[in-house]
């Protein structure tokens, strides 16, 4: 199993993630979702399918399904720095491999953002 940070431009529906080049992610990998505009991590997801290529698309030809495991409001989500990642290092990537330690720190940060039910 590998760990990833998925760079997203919208929080929107967490059903799939796209990439311009073939991603190394595989079904069963775990990832945190990073919202580029807000520079926060707002979700933990499982990769639910292997990447597939859609040659009819001119951009973002590679796509794989994701399944949300934990999601928080991006306005209440922690900054990506809680995982030891600087936003400027993400550049033009659509996904970045994380160490297990980075993933666990990110997951803890997201979990700490969840308001307990009364």
Domains in the chain: boundaries: 3-112
Rounded Cα distance between 3 and 69, Å, is 14
Full-model pTM = 0.90
Confidence band of 103 (pLDDT split at 50, 70, 90): very high
Residue 117 reports pLDDT greater than 50: no
* Of 29-43, 57-71, 78-92, minimum mean pLDDT range: 78-92
For residue 6, give every residue at least 6 positions away whose Cβ sits within 8 Å of its Cβ, in sequence order, or none. Answer: 17, 31, 32, 33, 34, 45, 66, 94, 95
Look at strands 16-19 and 40-47 and give their pairing.
Answer: unpaired
Residue-level pLDDT at 72: 93
Confidence band of 115 (pLDDT split at 50, 70, 90): low
- Where b means 16+ CB within 10 Å and e means fewer, 78-98 reads bebebbebeeeebeeebbbeb
Report helix, strand or coil for 31.
strand
Q: Give the H or E element holding residue 102.
A: helix 100-112
Average of per-residue pLDDT across 23-32? 96
CATH superfamily of 3-112: ph1033 like domains (3.10.590.10)
């Amino acid at each position: 199993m590998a760990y990833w940070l998925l760079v997203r431009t919208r929080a929107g529906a967490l059903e799939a993630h796209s990439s311009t080049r073939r991603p190394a992610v595989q079904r069963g990998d775990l990832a945190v979702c990073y919202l580029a505009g807000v520079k926060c991590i707002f979700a933990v997801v499982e990769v639910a399918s292997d990447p597939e290529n859609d040659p009819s698309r001119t951009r973002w030809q590679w796509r794989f399904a994701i399944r949300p495991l934990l999601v928080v409001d991006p306005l209440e989500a922690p900054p990506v720095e809680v995982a030891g990642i600087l936003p400027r290092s993400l550049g033009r990537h659509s996904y970045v491999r994380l160490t297990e330690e980075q993933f666990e720190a990110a997951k803890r940060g997201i979990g700490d953002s969840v308001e307990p039910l009364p």
